[in-house]
Homo-oligomer: A and B are copies of this chain.
């Protein structure tokens, strides 16, 4: 693991949960915490619940959007305690740990947690490469936020003991920022070609986001795709 594994908490309502999550990640040997638009932070309650992990809170990044939190991430995994009707690939926490450690050999990974009440929004899930589903009681799947963080961090730690890094990839994975630029470009080309109608572009764009996020393009592949879009846009032909 050469690159950080970042725990990202989105719009957390209760500062106590932020503290408990900091403690959970530190017990498993992690320290990178990003808070997206927390309701209350810094907070005395968070410090109390963090117990001996106040250092993790002090070093936490606070940002306004999920996009900022994952800008440097090569793999973004969204956590869910329930199965969601979303078409991201679904991992269990053990598979998540394997994928995460493989990617962390070459680029930062973000594991993203939604709000206590509703979890991740569809828009947030559209920014993920995969979802991690924590198996739970179908009649009561209401895991505490910090418990979910604890389980994911535990699986990562468990896997680290067994893990041997795979072969280095030829090119680094595309970053979240590059993926956004690609999607903007794709949308432009789709409008210009008349394929997307301006009244309701969302549905098709979401489908395409899921497809490309699932593929986890590397930088070189993304350059090919951008080149293809540029070429289609200018309408140059050889013949």
Q: Which residues of A contact B (CB under 8 A)?
A: 20, 23-24, 26-29, 51-53, 81, 83, 85, 87, 90, 92-94, 134-137, 140-144, 146-147, 150-151, 154, 157-158, 161, 166-167, 170, 189-195, 197-198, 204, 207-208, 210-212, 214-218, 220-221, 224-225, 227-228, 231-232, 235-239
Contact = CB atoms under 8 A, between A and B. Distances in A.
Contacts of A217: 211
A214 B218 CA distance: 12
7 contacts: A27-B142, A28-B135, A29-B136, A93-B154, A135-B154, A194-B231, A195-B231
A236 B193 contact: yes
B231 A193 contact: yes
Given A27-B141, A52-B140, A140-B27, A193 B134 contact: no
Contact of A204 (B90, B211, B224): B224
